[in-house]
């Protein structure tokens, strides 16, 4: 199992609906330092949100999670994809 950040991309419409843009989302491993303030959502092994959320400040440590789970900043989840 690989630890650390996992990055993936999705294509979606830009905010004005005029064209496509690349959206990049960064997953963070349990125990990593939160890179930004906000609400973090736990992702399961299938990269689907679980019901666990954390409100953290930049520099706080992300909570532990089951093997294969990760954390995603909610702002990254709610982009226009």
| Residue 70 domain flag | yes
Residue bearing tokens 């993936």? 8
The answer to whether residue 24 is domain-embedded is yes
**The total number of structural domains that make up the chain:** 1
Total length of the chain: 81
pTM of the model: 0.65
CA-based end-to-end distance of the chain: 28
CA neighbor of 73 nearest in space, from 33, 49, 41: 41
Residue 54 belongs to a domain: yes
**Domain of 28, in residue numbers:** 6-77
For 23-71, the pLDDT digits (tens) are 457 899 999 999 999 999 999 999 999 999 999 999 999 999 999 999 9
33 within domain boundaries = yes
Instruction: Return the structure tokens found at 31.
Output: 């125990």
Asked whether residue 1 is assigned to any structural domain, the reply reads: no
Token pair listed for 76: 């990254």
């Amino acid at each position: 199992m690989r630890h650390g950040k996992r990055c993936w991309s999705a294509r979606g419409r830009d905010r004005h609906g005029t064209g496509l843009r690349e959206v990049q989302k960064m997953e963070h491993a349990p125990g990593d330092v939160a890179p930004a303030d906000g609400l973090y959502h736990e992702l399961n092994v299938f990269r689907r949100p679980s019901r666990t959320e954390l409100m953290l400040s930049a520099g706080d440590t992300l909570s532990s999670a089951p093997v294969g789970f990760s954390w995603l900043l909610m702002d990254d989840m709610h982009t226009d994809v």
